[in-house]
Amino acid sequence: MQKPATDKRLIGVVIPVGALRSSSGMGVGEFPDLVNFAQVCKKMKLGLIQILPVNDTGSESSPYFSLTAFGLHPLYLRIEDLDEFMTADASIKKRIKDAREKFDKNVRFSHYLVLKEKLEITQEIFNSHKTEIIKSAESGKLSKWIKNNQWVRQYAVYRRLKEANGGKSWKEWEAFNSVIASDIDALWNNKKLLDQHIFWVWLQEALDAQFSKAAEEIAKAGIILEGDLPILMNDDSCDVWANPDIFIQDLSAGAPPDMYSPDGQNWGFPIYNWEAQEKNNYLWWRERLRTAEKYYSAYRIDHVLGFFRIWASSRRDYSSTLGHFVPYTPVTLGDLKKLGFDKGKIRWSSRPHIPTGEVYDALRSNWKSAFTEEEISAAAEKIFSKILVRIENEELWLFNRKIKGEKDIEKAGIHPASLGYLYKKWKDRLFLEYEKGKFFPVWYYRDSWAYRTLSDGEKSSLEELFAKRSKKSEKIWAQQGLKLLSVLAESSDMLPCAEDLGAVPACVPKVLSKLKILGLRVIRWFRHWDREGQPYIPFDEYPQLSVCTPAVHDSSTVRQWWESEADQRQFSGFIGVPSLPSKYNPGSAKIILSKAASARSRFRVFQIQDLLHLSNKWYTKDPAQERINVPGSVNDFNWTYRLPAEIDEIAKDKDLITAVRELSRISPVRKKR
């Protein structure tokens, strides 16, 4: 696809493909539905459609837990558009009809059930046409597609093995849980497994054809299609399984603690081995972008901060409180010795110290009063013998060397009543020694027992050292970010848009600006957090190289935010409309979205739910039901949002069409002098 001009201001919409509704779908949005949706967007004068990731995630509903960086999700396949469906027998056609009637009633779609039904039906169709499909894979149309999409060989072998192992992670497979290229080739060339491999290839070719056709129609409508490329890969993915050398698997990526996640976020994804990737000129990333470019004109780089530095924690921990930035200029033993830290003080600062009495107190406070002192003593002795080691004759204990994280504490078989206390003590340190002789100040180091015992002079010296290390690290982050993002920028004609939320180092916006990559500005979070009252940043101060949005897939909608979360008085004052009602309505929506549309940002993008609120017809009773995802929760609700009506029905709403059109006419607010 051709890269869109970065100087053209556009209004856009964000929608998950699965959210689309049509009379042709089977309880979930499908790639062909994008064509009709684009026509509605054209009527609305929208210039951009942004979708969430559409890679295969298997039975996992989150689009950010993909099994492959290349293969598309069978969930979005329209079975009736398959060539082989033309000759399908009546039983298959009836099964599709029955499935459609069953699933289309649901307000939200069932990822697991719809996918299961689709895979069963497509397997039945494949079996009926196996001979000609395999022939095509050996010397026909499918053969040419395989040649042009070499990734599909690894994917098909991986998918077949995953099915054979009951859907388990490859790390739990009894065989082939560690492979090299020749192992994968041997499995691919095994004639006994040919039909099982070709089934997955055939599905991917059909998905590619349907998505490519939809992307072409969107381009013809004059609309930019923006994809979403998560920076990180699922631990249980074909890519990590087949290319272990380009990942560091003993560390888990995530985010440091913040006001919403006091224990940080541990995503469970491996981090990249950039040194290994550099040796083959980042081939995996280049191929990934070339594949995405078949469909998209622009792409969202999820968690772009990860290209500069990633927050990584041990696989042995549940939380990421004891994470550290990779890369980072460490505090060394030499640094600490210069500050007067001897061996004992370094141990005091980097290994939690636990008083004997605290263990008993923790058990008493967490146990019911019915427990006797003898039972408490027995539980305490188990803790001392299983996971702690005494410091000589002192009433102080350290975690023994076998304990490497919170998971080890849990597995020790101690009473659950003590776990909360021990997890807290595990994090109670000033430094994390993440490699021998390399130290990182933990996120809550000022709250640690060790830090509180230091003199004011020692604290001052440490803070000065930390500032120096952070400054030096930021130079490394800037260099790495510029190098890696330059590779992405030169590898594709797509326009990159970065998701740069979180604790953003000063180097990030500078590098993004230099490479003309659009950053993300979420109105509710784009504020002067260090000023009194934490005022919102005016729309005339939004960078031109940015995407402005009032809500994202991980947040509440504007309606829910306004009614349940916002400081209405402060925000009303900010936009200069003090009379906004406390109950959200189309009038409120028009005012707030119009103000967002006036931002100086190149793209002003809105979730489909927020645009629908411009009309009275599409309000659900409970605004919480309109969310796409609630971070930190795992359930059947997340990622299963559907439009409240079919696309064709929404297209008839003239009030909605007119209201959205008006957003596209809004000029950017002039910067105050």
pLDDT tens digits, residue range 185-238? 999 999 999 999 999 999 999 999 999 999 999 999 999 999 999 999 999 999
Contact of 205 with 142, CB cutoff 8 Å: yes
Tokens 């509704």 belong to residue: 21
Closest to 629 in 3D by CA, of 35, 214, 30, 111: 111
Q: Which residue has the higher pLDDT, 2 or 596?
A: 596
585-627 residue pLDDT tens: 999 999 999 999 999 999 999 999 999 999 999 999 999 999 9
396-399 sheet: strands from edge to edge: 354-355, 396-399, 388-390
Q: Which tens digit of pLDDT belongs to each residue from 317-339?
A: 999 999 999 999 999 999 999 99
Answer yes or no: are the C-beta atoms of 172 and 232 closer than 8 Å.
Answer: no
Report the C-alpha gap between 396 and 358 in whole angstroms: 10
Per-residue pLDDT averaged across 484-512, rounded?
94
Strand, helix or coil at 102?
helix
Nearest-5° Cα angle at 255, 251 to 259: 150
Among the listed residues 67, 247, 253, the one whose alpha carbon sits nearest the alpha carbon of residue 155 = 67
Q: At 637, phi and psi to the nearest 5?
A: -80, -45
What's the whole-number mean pLDDT along residues 132-148?
Answer: 96
Give the mean model confidence (pLDDT) for residues 518-534: 96
What distance in Å separates the CA atoms of residue 303 and residue 310, rounded to the nearest whole number? 9
Per residue in 77-125, pLDDT (tens digit) is 999 999 999 888 899 999 999 999 999 999 999 999 999 999 999 999 9
Above 70 in pLDDT, residue 6? Answer: no
Residue found by looking up tokens 């993909």 in the block: 66
What is the arithmetic mean of pLDDT over 480-505? 95
Q: What is the pLDDT of residue 556?
A: 97
Q: Residue 473 is inside which H or E element, if any? A: helix 456-490
Give yes or no for a cis peptide into 578 (omega within 30° of 0).
Answer: no
* Distance of alpha carbon 495 from alpha carbon 296, whole angstroms: 9
pLDDT tens digits for range 274-293: 999 999 999 999 999 999 99
Transcribe 284-351 into DSSP letters. Answer: HHHHHHHHHTTT-SEEEEETTHHHH-EEEEETT-SS-TT-EEES---EEHHHHHHTT--HHHHHHHHS
In terms of phi and psi (left: phi > 0; alpha: psi -120 to 50; beta: otherwise), the region of 519 is: beta
Q: Is 186 exposed, middle or buried (0-12, 13-18, 19+ CB in 10 A)?
A: exposed
Show the DSSP H helices in 491-619 as ranges. Answer: 507-514, 558-560, 568-575, 586-597, 608-612
pLDDT tens digit sequence for 572-586: 999 999 989 999 999
Answer for the pair 659, 586: CB distance below 8 angstroms, yes or no. yes
Average pLDDT over residues 494-517: 94
Is the Cβ–Cβ distance between 324 and 312 less than 8 Å? Answer: yes
Q: How many helices and strands, by DSSP H and E, does the chain display?
A: 27, 18
Pinpoint the alpha helices (H) of 56-192.
Answer: 90-103, 111-128, 130-139, 141-148, 151-164, 181-188
Distance CA(502)–CA(520), nearest Å, equals: 11
pLDDT bin (cut points 50, 70, 90) of residue 370 is low
pTM score, whole prediction: 0.94
pLDDT score, position 312:
97
Rounded to an integer, the average pLDDT of 126-146 is 96
Which of 215, 468, 205 shows the shortest CA–CA distance to 335? 468
What whole-number distance in Å separates Cα of residue 217 and Cα of residue 214? 5
Backbone angles phi, psi at 435, to 5 degrees: -140, 160
Query: How many other C-beta atoms lie within 10 A of the C-beta of residue 259?
Result: 6
Q: pLDDT at position 673, please? A: 61
Q: Tell me, what amino acid is at 583?
A: K
Confidence of residue 163 (pLDDT cuts 50, 70, 90): very high
Mean pLDDT across 639-667: 97
pLDDT of residue 372: 83
The tens digit of pLDDT for each residue in 433-488 reads 999 999 999 999 999 999 999 999 999 999 999 999 999 999 999 999 999 999 99
> In the structure, what pLDDT confidence band is assigned to residue 417 with cuts at 50, 70 and 90?
confident
Q: Check if the beta carbon of residue 526 is closer than 8 Å to that of residue 538.
A: no
Q: Is the pLDDT of residue 367 over 70?
A: no
Helix (H, G, I), strand (E, B) or coil at 241: helix
Q: What is the mean pLDDT of the chain?
A: 95
Residue 81 contacts residue 4 (beta carbons within 8 Å): no
What pLDDT does residue 3 have? 65
Alpha helices in 221-266 (DSSP H): 238-242
Give the pLDDT of residue 360.
92
* Cα gap 95→241, rounded to integer Å: 36
- Please tell me the predicted confidence (pLDDT) of residue 375: 86
